[in-house]
Amino acid sequence: MTSPTTTPAVTQIPITKPYLGEEEIAAVAEAIRSGWVAQGPMVAKFERLLAERLGVEHVVATSNCTTSLHIAMICAGVGAGDEVIVPSFTFIATANAVLYAGARPVFVDIDPRTYNMDPTKVEAAITPRTKAIVPVDQIGLAAELDPILEIAQRHGLRVIEDAAPALGATYRGRPIGSISPVTCFSFHPRKSITTGEGGAITTNDAEIAARARVLRSHGASVSDLARHNASHVTIEEYDELGYNYRMSDIHAALGTVQLTRLDEILAKRQHMAERYNRLIAQIPGVSTPSAPDYAPHTYQSYCVRLDPEQCAPRDEVMERMLQLGIATRRGVMAIHEEPYYVKRFGTVSLPVTEEATRQTILLPLFYEMTEEQQDRVVEALHTTVRA
C-alpha cells in the first residue's frame, strides 16, 4: 500500500487547457497533405491574418516567443556591453533573450496593482550603456506604454515589447502589437490561442521585418518558399549569422484556425474571470486582479494575491489545492532571485516584485471550464487559505 503522503491526488482541474477542435485537426491534416511541413505558404497566410487582426504592417512568425525576443534584440542592435531594462516579475525568457544577445539585463520594480513595469522606476535605471527597454504585458494586461515610449524616445533607446501573454489586449483603445516599434507574441498552449509552439514579431518598420525574416532562417537571403516559387534558379547567400527560428506550416495551420476563435475565447475568459471576481471577493485576505482604466484585462491567467496576515503561506495553499485535485501555479517568478541570475549578477533588491512573487497564485482558467468546476476551485480556495 502506498502512503498518502507520497501519492498526491490526481489533478482533476488543470491550470489551463487549449481549446482545439475538428477544424484545427483538418487544417493540420491539409498542411501535411500539401507537402509543405516546414516554413511555407501556411506561415505566410498566418502572418497575413495576424497582421490584419492587429492593424500592423509586418508580422514575422517564429518558432516561439523567446526566439522572437532574441531576433528583436539583434535587430535593435543589442550586443556585448549593452544593458537592457526589464522587469524581474516575468517569465525567465524575457531576461534570457537579453543574455542571448550578449547584453546584461537591468531589473526594475513593478506596479503593485498591475504587476507590470513601473514607468516611474525606469529612468533611474538608465546608464550610458542602456540600449533598450522591454515592457512586459504581464498575464494578459497591457503595460503602461505611453510613458515608457516617451522615456525611450527622450533617451534614444529602443523599445521591445514582450506581449507573450497578451494577444487580443488593447492599450488606450489600440491593439497591442501595433503600438511599440517591435512587439513579440507567444502561441504556447498556455496562451489564449496556440500554434502548439510558436511566436511572432510585429512591427511597422519594413527594414526590421526584412532582417528578422533573414535571421529566423539561418541568415539566408532568400526563403525556401521564394526559391520554390521562382521562375528561374535562385541561390541564396548568407551575409550574417542567422538562426533556425522558423515556424512550420503545421504550426501555422493550427494558428490560422485559432485566430478565428480569438474573440470567442477572450469573451469566455472575460466572463469566467468576472465570475471569479464576484465569488472570490467573499474570501477574506484574497485580492482579485486589478485592471486600470487604460487597459482591459484579457486574463491569459487568473492571478489572485494572498494577504500573509490573513492567509496560509502561498506554497502551502497550492499544496492543499493539489491534494483536492486542483492545479495551481505560483503567480510569476522573480527572475533576479533565480539561482542562475543570483550566481551571475549577485543580489538585487526589488521589494514590490519580491512581495508579489511570494503572495500570488494562478487559478485554473480555460475556455471549456464549467461553472461547476469554477465553483469547486473557489470552494477549495476558501478552505485552503485559512491560516
Angle at alpha carbon of residue 307, lines to 302 and 310, rounded to 5°: 130
Whether 85 and 171 map to the same domain: the answer is yes
**Residue 386 CA: distances (Å) to CA of 17, 283, 381:** 28, 10, 9
CA-to-CA distance for 104 and 85, rounded, in angstroms? 9
Same domain for 64 and 129, yes or no, is yes
Backbone phi, then psi, for 204, in 5-degree steps? -100, 5
Same domain, 246 and 362: no
Given this model, what pLDDT does residue 225 score? 62
Predicted confidence (pLDDT) at residue 1 exceeds the cutoff of 50: no
Contacts 24+ apart (CB under 8 A), 33-36: 34/249, 36/249
Judge if 51 and 148 occupy the same domain: yes
Q: Alpha helices of 283-350 — where are they, by DSSP H?
A: 314-323, 339-345
Asked, for residue 12, whether it belongs to a domain, the answer is: no
Is residue 3 assigned to a domain? Answer: no
Tell me the CATH number at 98: 3.40.640.10
Tell me: do 105 and 158 sit in the same domain.
yes
> What pLDDT does residue 182 have?
98
Query: CA 271 to CA 265: how far, in whole Å?
Result: 10
Same domain, 73 and 214: yes
Q: Is the dihedral of CA 262, 263, 267, 270 positive or negative?
A: positive
Give the residue carrying C-alpha cell 484556425.
257
Domain of residue 311 covers 262-384
**Residue 254: inside a domain, yes or no?**
yes
Contact 331, 306 (CB under 8 A): no
Query: In the chain, what are the helix, strand and coil shares in percent, each to the nearest 5?
Result: 40, 15, 45
Burial of 365 (0-12, 13-18, 19+ CB in 10 A): buried
Judge if 300 and 246 occupy the same domain: no
Domain stop point among 259, 281, 310: 259
Q: Does 83 share its domain with 181?
A: yes
Domains identified in the chain, total number: 2
Predicted pLDDT of residue 223: 65
Task: Give pLDDT, residue 3.
Answer: 45
- For 115-153, how does the pLDDT look when each residue is reduced to its tens digit (9 = 90+)? 999 999 999 999 999 999 999 999 999 999 999 999 999
CA angle centred on 153, ends 202 and 163, rounded to 5° = 30
Based on the fold, state whether residues 250 and 295 are members of the same structural domain: no
Question: pLDDT tens digits, residue range 147-172?
Answer: 999 999 999 999 999 999 999 999 99
If you average pLDDT over residues 70-76, what whole number do you get?
98
Supply the pLDDT for residue 233: 66
Q: Look up the pTM and report it.
A: 0.93
- Which carries the bigger pLDDT value, residue 78 or residue 386? 78
**Are residue 149 and residue 227 in the same domain, yes or no?**
yes
Within a domain: 288: yes
On whether residue 237 sits in a domain, the answer given is yes
Mean pLDDT across the stretch 167-194?
Answer: 97
Q: What is the tens place of the pLDDT at every residue in 282-337?
A: 999 999 999 899 999 999 999 999 999 999 999 999 999 999 999 999 999 999 99
Q: Which of 45, 121, 131, 191 is catalytic?
A: 191
Residue 107 belongs to some domain of the structure: yes
Same domain, 128 and 245: yes
| Active-site annotation holds for 343 | no
